[in-house]
């Protein structure tokens, strides 16, 4: 990168159990969010066993991943990007009216704004991700903003306000949030920190491996396998 740093070319994903590497996968993607399905599919194919549950950080909390885990029957202890904010409600900014401050009424399929105005369903808008996953957003609108004393804060002076809700994502996030705050969920969150992170630390810092020596994803896959094997042998020997 011409500043003494190395530009990452591969994204290495690992599954661990008691700091032993159970499986690994190599990706040429900059973010973790699109690697979960591929990684776990390879894990299941290689070991012939489907995990009963998966624990990850917030980097994997997407509707596509939640939905896939639910369909596969794998219990998701997966944070979403707002999980830590939800844990500290006092720190949330209430000044500007965000979507999560609007109340959805399931029976009437209406949304109630913080000032008590009703917002009607005006249709669904669909977005398709780069992976081909379809997100359905239901749109709700109110025309009573003109008489609202907080119009300037909430709606920037417009006479109507429209919000979009992804009901499926909200359902999946709510289930994950409740699950993560159970006694078992808290234990799994703590375990992830001292189960996965030390493995990367041991490889990079204790054994000074910070750069692949080979080139090409097939060779990198072999090199990562040798690293995983060496790490597991060291752990067992210790």
Rounded to an integer, the average pLDDT of 65-80 is 96
Tokens 């234990």 sit on residue: 187
d(C-alpha 10, C-alpha 30), whole Å: 8
Residue-wise pLDDT for 104-122, tens only, equals 999 999 999 888 889 999 9
Cβ 37 vs Cβ 54: under 8 Å: no
Beta bridge partners of 54: 76
How much of the chain exceeds pLDDT 70, in percent?
Answer: 94
Above 90 in pLDDT, residue 32? yes
Tokens 């969920």 sit on residue: 185
Rounded to an integer, the average pLDDT of 83-92 is 69
Q: What is the pLDDT of residue 210?
A: 86
pTM of the full structure? 0.87
Residue-wise pLDDT for 134-147, tens only, equals 999 999 998 888 88
SS3 at position 111: strand
Which residues, other chains included, contact 217 with Cβ-Cβ below 8 Å and sequence gap of 6+?
Answer: 10, 26, 28
1's tokens: 């990168």
136's tokens: 């359905």
> Is the CA virtual torsion 111, 117, 118, 121 positive or negative?
negative
SS3 at position 144: coil
Q: What residue ranges define each of the domains in the chain, with the CATH number in brackets? A: 11-85+174-237 (3.30.420), 93-166 (no CATH)
Q: What is the pLDDT of residue 143?
A: 81
| Mean pLDDT over each residue of the chain, to the nearest integer | 90
How distant is the alpha carbon of residue 155 from its chain centre?
A: 29
d(C-alpha 102, C-alpha 59), whole Å: 26
Residue-wise pLDDT for 195-234, tens only, equals 999 999 999 998 899 889 998 999 999 999 999 999 999 9
Q: H/E element holding 138?
A: strand 134-142
Rg, Å, the chain Cα set: 22
Backbone angles phi, psi at 170, to 5 degrees: -60, -40
d(C-alpha 133, C-alpha 166), whole Å: 14
């Amino acid at each position: 990168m011409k500043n003494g740093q190395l530009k990452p070319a591969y994204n290495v994903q690992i599954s661990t159990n008691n700091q032993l590497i159970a499986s690994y996968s190599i990706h040429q993607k900059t973010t973790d969010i699109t690697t979960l399905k591929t990684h776990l599919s390879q894990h299941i194919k290689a070991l012939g066993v489907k995990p009963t549950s998966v624990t990850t950080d917030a980097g994997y909390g997407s509707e596509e991943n939640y939905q896939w885990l639910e369909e596969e029957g794998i219990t998701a202890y997966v944070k979403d990007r707002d999980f830590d904010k939800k844990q500290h409600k006092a720190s949330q900014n209430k000044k500007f009216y965000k979507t999560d401050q609007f109340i959805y009424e399931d029976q009437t399929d209406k949304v109630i704004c913080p000032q008590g105005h009703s917002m009607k369903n005006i249709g669904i808008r669909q977005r398709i991700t780069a992976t081909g996953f379809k997100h359905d957003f239901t749109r709700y609108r109110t025309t009573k903003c003109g008489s609202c004393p907080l119009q300037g804060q909430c709606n920037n002076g417009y006479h109507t306000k429209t919000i979009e809700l992804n009901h499926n994502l909200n359902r999946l996030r709510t289930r994950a949030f409740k699950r993560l705050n159970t006694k078992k969920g808290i234990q799994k969150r703590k375990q992830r920190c001292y189960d996965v992170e030390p493995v990367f630390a041991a490889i990079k810092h204790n054994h000074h491996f910070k750069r692949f020596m080979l080139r090409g994803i097939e060779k990198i896959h072999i090199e990562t396998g040798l690293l995983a094997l060496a790490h597991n042998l060291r752990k067992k020997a210790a």
